[in-house]
C-alpha cells in the first residue's frame, strides 16, 4: 500500500515479445509493478519515476529527451519477462 507519494528511479524493465511492449517494471527500491499498475499509480500521483511519465494511466513512456538511460527499448528490450502477462482489455 502506498499512502504518501514517492519518487523513484527505474532499475529495470521486462519486455514481452509476444505483446510487443514492456510488461514489468522494477524500481530502485526493488519493488516490481506490472506496467498498467505503475502507470495507474503514476497518474494518481502516488509514484513519480524520474525520466518517465504515464500515458492516460495505461502505460509508461520515457520523457522526450536524448538520454540513453531513458530509452526503454535500447536499455531493456533484451530483458524478456518470465511472468505471465496478458493484453489489456
Which tops the pLDDT comparison, 33 or 73?
33
End-to-end CA distance of the chain: 25
Q: For position 16, what pLDDT does the model report? A: 86
Task: Select the more confidently predicted residue: 76 or 66.
Answer: 76
Judge residue 43's burial from the number of C-beta atoms within 10 Å of its C-beta, 0-12 exposed, 13-18 middle, 19 or more buried: middle
Instruction: At 42, list the grid cell.
Output: 503514476
Q: Report the pLDDT averaged over residues 21-35.
A: 92
| Mean pLDDT, the chain, integer | 82
Which pLDDT band holds residue 42 (cuts at 50, 70, 90)? very high
* pLDDT at site 15: 87
Per-residue pLDDT for 12 more than 70? yes
Amino acid at each position: 500500500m502506498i499512502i504518501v507519494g514517492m519518487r523513484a528511479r527505474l532499475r529495470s524493465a521486462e519486455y514481452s515479445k509476444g505483446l510487443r511492449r514492456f510488461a514489468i517494471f522494477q524500481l530502485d527500491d526493488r519493488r516490481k509493478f506490472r506496467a498498467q499498475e505503475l502507470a495507474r499509480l503514476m497518474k494518481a500521483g502516488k509514484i513519480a519515476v524520474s525520466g518517465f511519465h504515464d500515458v492516460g494511466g495505461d502505460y509508461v513512456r520515457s520523457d522526450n529527451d536524448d538520454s540513453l538511460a531513458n530509452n526503454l527499448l535500447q536499455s531493456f528490450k533484451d530483458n524478456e519477462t518470465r511472468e505471465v502477462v496478458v493484453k489489456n482489455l
